[in-house]
Every structure is written in structure tokens, then in C-alpha cells.
A and B are shown apart, each in its own frame.
Chain A
Amino acid sequence: MIINHPLLGPRDAAEFIYLGDACLIDRPDWEAEDAAEKFHEYGYIRDNIAGSMQELWYHEQGDRSWLVVTRDTVTHEITDVEMARDVARARGRSK
């Protein structure tokens, strides 16, 4: 697979480390009433989508940036690559 890095252009997927579903950006509020339940879901429960999925890849053998890659888990086709920083900010994360 070739991942089209937004800053570096097309890079071999072997340069990256895979973390998983991009829902991991959405860390639950640790002060909420139902934090224990929410963290269980966050840590252990997955949609495990068959089809187009947003996922986190880390460019370890490159610029060490985190990317959000939109990839089809049935065909391995990559349709979109964004900086994870931009995705997180767009979702309201400021840090």
C-alpha cells in the first residue's frame, strides 16, 4: 500500500506504524459521570468496519507525524489522507 502523505507525498506503508480506528482521537471526558463506561468503550470496543474506515497511522520511519488515513478494509484502497492534527482540531480538540 502507498500512503499519500499530505506533506511528503506518496510513501510506502511499511514506513508507518498502525494504531487503529481514528475514533481513538475522541478521548472521553475523564470527569464525566459515566467515565468508566466510556473509557471501557474507548479502550476496548471497536466498530471493526468492513468498508471505508478512518484510521490512525504514525510515520515512524519518516517525519513522525500522525495521519488519519481513509482506507477501505475490503479492498485496501486509500481514498484520503489528512494530518491527524488537522482532524483533531476540526473535531474541537485544541491541544
Chain B
Amino acid sequence: MRYSALRILKEGLTGNKGWKPVWREPEPKAEYDVIIIGGGGHGLATAYYLAKEYGITNVAVLEKGWIGSGNVGRNTTIIRSNYLLPGNEPFYELSLKLWEGLEQDFNYNAMISQRSILNLLHSDAQRDAFIRRGNAMFLAGADAEYASAEQLRAELPFLDYDNARFPIKGGLFQRRGGTVRHDAVAWGYARGADSRGVDIIQNCEVTGFDIENGVCRGVETSRGPIRGKKIAMCVAGSSSRVAAKAGMRLPIESHVLQAFVTEGLKPVIPGVITFGAGHFYVSQSDKGGLVFGGDLDGYNSYASRGNLPVIEDVAEGGMAIMPIIGRARLLRSWGGIMDMSMDGSPYIDKTHIDGLYFNGGWCYGGFKATPGSGLCYAHLIAKDTPHPVATEMRLDRFKRGGMIDEKGQGNQPNLH
């Protein structure tokens, strides 16, 4: 069923009786060409692009819970491509371009709103670094725009420009950045994949792998064994747990990241704003709540909840740039499990086991990468060679000295 304004009108006049479930709930078949483990944003996007771009439709997406119940439903919904390094920036720019055409592509309203992202800067050295990053973005075909403090004062008068400790001296805009209705991304990809023949199998946990002589031939699941010619892991915060079932150890630590939303307010923040001297970022949802977040809690965790000191730190970051936030009441805070990699950049790669593929290590930047990750992973699975923009995202890059370390923090996952 194609969605359109005409369709809404017609259904409205006929009692809304024609709407159908958006995806089927099939029983697992005995064998598939491709089995994707993980029905989150990336897994569903991978299935969608496998079917749409590479013509592989005999695909199952296995999800332990319900689709979109992981990080795609728990993030702060920001999309952007303001990265520096050549191993990253072309990938994220491809992803942002896919976001721009996504709703038309999968015929689903994901409420993509390119309301801009602004990285504030607070020192002369930071201005140099941000302008360098802006130039790197131009090289990859992205947009970037430097704004002086005077320009920002006119556009965003509510920021604390004369803060004694962290004065705002300017900022780097990416006007094409913005926010998305995150759940709709999972649902849109699921619908698009399902309508092309992909089986989305929920409540189906992978409990083991069928590996013989270095070749992966299938998976054991809570709903019985399923054979597959190619098996693709895509489980974010659970990456190490699932890979351990295949005897693999990964360059990943799982950490908890908290996010926050206030009560609904009248429109006040036009885009996404980030603090350059601490870790704080904020946007305003269409419902009016201020959605914001900051640093990881900093210790390994599989508990989807964090601790109070980080909440205090995030609130202090918010107060440092935007004192008006102090009047807003916090409605909710929640935590999600991040697959933190050793250099802050992701992996889209084959494993040492034939037929077994790995996608993970997205740290807390996985949501914006969803379309790009899906397309590049589908490319890798279909063609057995990396997509041209994802050639650096290899699992063995630390051995080769090929780290993609945007922050220059080294192999300390909780600092990326």
C-alpha cells in the first residue's frame, strides 16, 4: 500500500478501514540467502538496501525483542555529517544525502527536519580546529558555515555569550543537519524491506552459530535453527555478547549513555546546538520538549540506566551556554548501551569466519549513520567488497596503524 495525501483523504471518507499492518509476522523459513541479526535501524536498513539496491530478497531479520526496541528508539535523533577524517567524512556525507531523499525513497513520513546543527566554539584554537573541520567537510561535498559571535547573537540571542569561563566566540554550522522522528526510521525501513519480501522475525533471539571448518552456515535461535548462506551481525551494544557465541573477541566496550527530555515548551531552540567546552548538546522536539545529552557515564555497562553524577555534569553544561534551560523541568532521563570502539569510529567488515559479517562499534553516533550503514553493509554482504566510502572501517585497522580517531584520544573507549 502506497501512502499519499489522497490515500489519507480516501481512508478518512471510508472509515479508515483500508489500513493494513505495515509488515507481516512470518514464521522463520529453514534457510535464507542472508540472515541479519538485529532488527534495529541498521539491521532493517541493511535488509532494505539488500532488497532494493542489490536485488537480494531472500533475507531474514532476526530480532530478540521487537523491532526498533534498541538504540534506534532511544537516541536524540540528530543527523549530521560534520566529521573531519577521510575515513569517516565521505561515509557520513553519503548517509546525510540518503537521509535527504529517504522519505520519498521508502514512502514513509520520518519527519526529517534539516533545522541545522551548530557547534559552538570558545577559544581561538578551537576556531582554527573548527574551520579546518569545515574545510574537510567541503572536500567530501558537505556544507559548513562559520558564524562569528556577532552573527550568532542575532540568530540565537538566548545563549550566554559572555560567560566568564566559556565565552562563546563563534560556531560552525551545518545547515543540512537536523533531527528525525527516530521510530519512524525503523518502521519505514521495516515496511520497505517487508514489502520487497524480507522476513522480519521478532522475538527470535540468536543463541549460537553453526560454524564448521571456519565457515558459518547458520544460526541457532530461540525459535529453532535457521540456515543462511551469509550471516550478518548488527547488534550495537550487544555486539560483544553475540560475537562471543562465534568465539570472537572484539575491539569494543559497551558503555551506558544517558539522554534527557524536559516538559514541552514553546518553540525556543531552532536547531541542534552543541557546547564546545564540555559535552552537552540540545535540540527541541516537535512536541516542544528540550532533548539533550552529554557524556557517557564512563564505565562498562549493560544496564540501560546511568548514575546521577553524569546528570549533574550534563545539567552544568547546559547552564554554561544556555541559562534559560534552568527554568525547564526535566521530564525523563533514560540510558542506552553504546558499542564504544577503540578509536570512536565504527566497523563494517567481514570477520575471519567465512560467511559471517560484522557491523558495530557505532559509539553514540549510530543513529545519523543508519542509512549509510545499511547501504554500505548491504554492499559488503552482496559483493564481498567494502563500499567505496567504508573502506577504512575494518576490524583489523589497529594492527595496521589505521585508527580513525576523530578526537585523538587513543584506545580508551570511554573518552571518545
Contacts and interface: CB of A to CB of B under 8 A. Distances in A.
Contacts of B300: 20-21, 48-49, 53, 55, 73
B309 to A, nearest CB: 4
Interface string A49-82: 1100101000000000000000101111000000
Contacts of B301: 73, 76
B284 interface: no
Nearest to A42: B411
Given A13-B309, A14-B309, A50-B241, A75 B253 contact: no
A45 B341 CA distance: 10
Contacts of B249: 41, 45-48
A94 B414 CA distance: 29
B12 interface: no
A47 B249 CA distance: 6
Contacts of B342: 43-44
Given A50-B302, A53-B300, 6 more contacts: A13-B299, A48-B300, A50-B241, A55-B299, A73-B303, A76-B307
A1 interface: yes
B250 A45 contact: yes
Contacts of B240: 46-48, 50
Interface residues of A, number: 26
Contacts of B165: none
Interface of B, secondary structure class, is mixed
A18 B251 contact: no
B202 to A, nearest CB: 22
B351 to A, nearest CB: 13
B303 A74 contact: yes
A91 interface: no
B252 interface: yes
9 closest residue pairs by CB, A with B: A48-B240, A14-B309, A44-B398, A50-B302, A44-B251, A18-B299, A44-B342, A74-B302, A45-B249
B400 to A, nearest CB: 10
A14 B309 CA distance: 6
Interface of B: 240-241, 244, 249-254, 298-303, 307, 309, 342, 398-399, 411-414
10 contacts: A1-B307, A18-B299, A40-B399, A44-B342, A46-B250, A48-B252, A48-B300, A55-B300, A73-B254, A76-B301
A53 B241 CA distance: 14
A3 to B, nearest CB: 11
A31 interface: no
Nearest to B241: A50
A53 B254 CA distance: 13
A44 B397 CA distance: 10
A84 to B, nearest CB: 16
A33 interface: no
A12 interface: yes
Contacts of A50: 240-241, 254, 302
A43 B411 contact: yes
B307 A13 contact: yes
Contact of A20 (B253, B302, B398, B399): B253
A10 to B, nearest CB: 15
A12 B252 contact: no
A29 B253 CA distance: 24
A68 to B, nearest CB: 14
A46 to B, nearest CB: 5
A76 B307 CA distance: 10
A14 B299 CA distance: 11
Interface string A11-36: 01110001111000000000000001
B237 to A, nearest CB: 10
A70 to B, nearest CB: 12
Contacts of A55: 299-300
B398 A40 contact: yes
Contact of A46 (B253, B298, B302, B307): B253
B253 A48 contact: yes
Contact of B298 (A18, A48, A49, A73): A18
Nearest to A77: B303
Nearest to B312: A14
Contact of B302 (A18, A36, A40, A73): A73
Greatest chain A CB density within 10 A among B253, B298, B299, B411 is at B299
A40 B244 CA distance: 18
A24 to B, nearest CB: 11
